[in-house]
Amino acid sequence: DIQMTQSPPSLSASLGDKVTITCQASQNINKYIAWYQQKPGKAPRQLIRYTSTLVSGTPSRFSGSGSGRDYSFSISNVESEDIASYYCLQYDNLPYTFGAGTKLELK
């Protein structure tokens, strides 16, 4: 199985900050990484697929980049509605595997 090492586990930010989350895969995943937002009691919401493609409805303050084993996800200008947990997912190889998640909180 491909292991996805996501960091940091938690993040504290002020409104308007830029934050970055990283995921490192245990092998090359050929840019097949997606990023999800999850709020308590809700289903995960896909924000980005294939490293950097914003899914319809995703605000432009969200972005993704990377290649090979190393990927990052950023939120520029954090808004209150961005307070949530974020997960990466590799879908290059079965079994699909998720990162451990990052909880974004307001400072």
Partner 1 sequence: EIQLQESGPGLVKPSQSLSLTCSVTGYTITSGYDWSWIRKFPGNKMEWMGYISYSGSTNYNPSLKSRISITRDTSKNQFFLQLNSVTTEDTATYYCARESGPFDYWGQGVMVTVSS
Query: ∠ at Cα 5 (68, 104), nearest 5°?
Result: 115
Q: Sign (positive/negative) of CA torsion 56, 75, 21, 51?
A: positive
Amino acid at 23: C
Q: Whose Cβ is closer to partner 1: residue 45's or residue 76's?
A: 45
Binding letters toward partner 1, positions 28-67, x by CB under 8 A: ----x-x-x-----xxxxx--xx----x------------
Angstrom distance (rounded) from CA 13 to CA 77: 10
List 51, 58, 63, 97, residue binding partner 1 (CB under 8 A): 97
Q: Which of residues 100 and 106 has its CB atom nearest to partner 1 in the complex?
A: 100
Structure-block tokens of residue 64:
């993704």
Cross-strand partners of 23? 6, 71
Interacting stretch for partner 1, rule CB under 8 A, among 19-27, 58-66, 69-77, 88-96? 88-96
For residue 94, what is the DSSP state? S
CB of 20 to partner 1, least distance (A): 20
Residues that bind partner 1 (CB under 8 A): 1, 32, 34, 36, 42-46, 49-50, 55, 85, 87, 89, 91, 94-98, 100-101
